Structure 1
Amino acid sequence: MAAEKKKVDEKKADKKAVKKVAIKPAKAKKSGKKLAATDLVINVPLNGQVIKTFDLMPAKSTAAAPGDWIFTEEGSTVDIENLVVGFELNPSALNRQFERAILVIKIKQNPASGGTWRFALGGVATDNADSDPDNDVIVDIIDNGYTMIVYVQALENSAEYIPFGFVASLTNQYTGVVTIYESQDPGIATRRPL
């Protein structure tokens, strides 16, 4: 009996250790999202890689406001406003080239949109022409536009913030007309201690 109780207590302790999530609350967005907006921190281990999967539910814009796009970690209901990808101090330029976070972002269809969403025009749009001067973020669109793969690195010992919006097309299910929309967030911050 005592051994069984000890195993149960150990399992509870393991679950508590696993539930440590690197999400910190941030101010809720002014757009009035139903979900709480947060910053998600992803830490890449020294000489390692991390793979994370996300869901993106695009939304149409109205004449008065941008659409309310929902960007969540797969299986979560917490809307992500910004991604922060942290790297360990690494003096080796060769090793820095192999350290990365791989973000797999899948479009989740919203039946209320009246059509089919796909990533379009490269999948993202940055706020200015040279938002990523260190070329630390690479984007690939796969799966006929339904999935985006984002490779995030920190090739220099520096920090940068890349504000961007997702870009997706909506094909109307009745007319076939294609309309392009852009989200208002998130941003990606990469940081490696100096």
Structure 2
Amino acid sequence: MKRAVTPALIGAFLMSASLAASAATPEAKAAYSQARDAASAAYKVARARCDTITGNPKEVCVEEAKVARVRSVEEATAIYKNTLKAYTQSRLQIAAANYDLDRVKCKALTGNDKDVCIQQAKATLIAAQADARADKKAIEARTDARDDKRTAEYKVALEKCDAFAGAAKDTCVSAAKSQYGK
């Protein structure tokens, strides 16, 4: 029942963080809407396949369809919003959906096996949530460190400009501002 952490989300965030934010573009909104519609259509097809099954396997089938829909929608939402908060929230929602699936799978068991299964599902949920939050904190820390380094390098560049005077100094300061985005 152990679920893989979504490193694709982390990778996508890190790649998109280096690019200019484009979440507000019509193309991004169209891609987001298309992904949501595709997830909904895939869910309906998967859900229809579950109607031929009965009992707990049907419940598991339905829950698996829900997990697939949640994963698709949450990943599309995270990519569309393109924020660290959105990526973290997406991972938390996916973890919750996987937990629900694990609990449904546990219903087929009895006695101690069921109790162990439920505890394993809870442990997996807690681990996924902790990983998502820890990754968020790590990314924030790296971002803060990068910003601090750039600010320090900018100050050094400005200090070097003090050696010049007049137009040369203005050119140097302007170059430093443009290089360090100040």
Same fold (TM over 0.5): no
Q: Which has more strand, going by share of residues?
A: 1
TM-score (norm 2): 0.23
Q: TM-score, normalised by structure 1?
A: 0.23
Structure possessing the higher radius of gyration over alpha carbons:
2
- Bigger helix fraction: 2
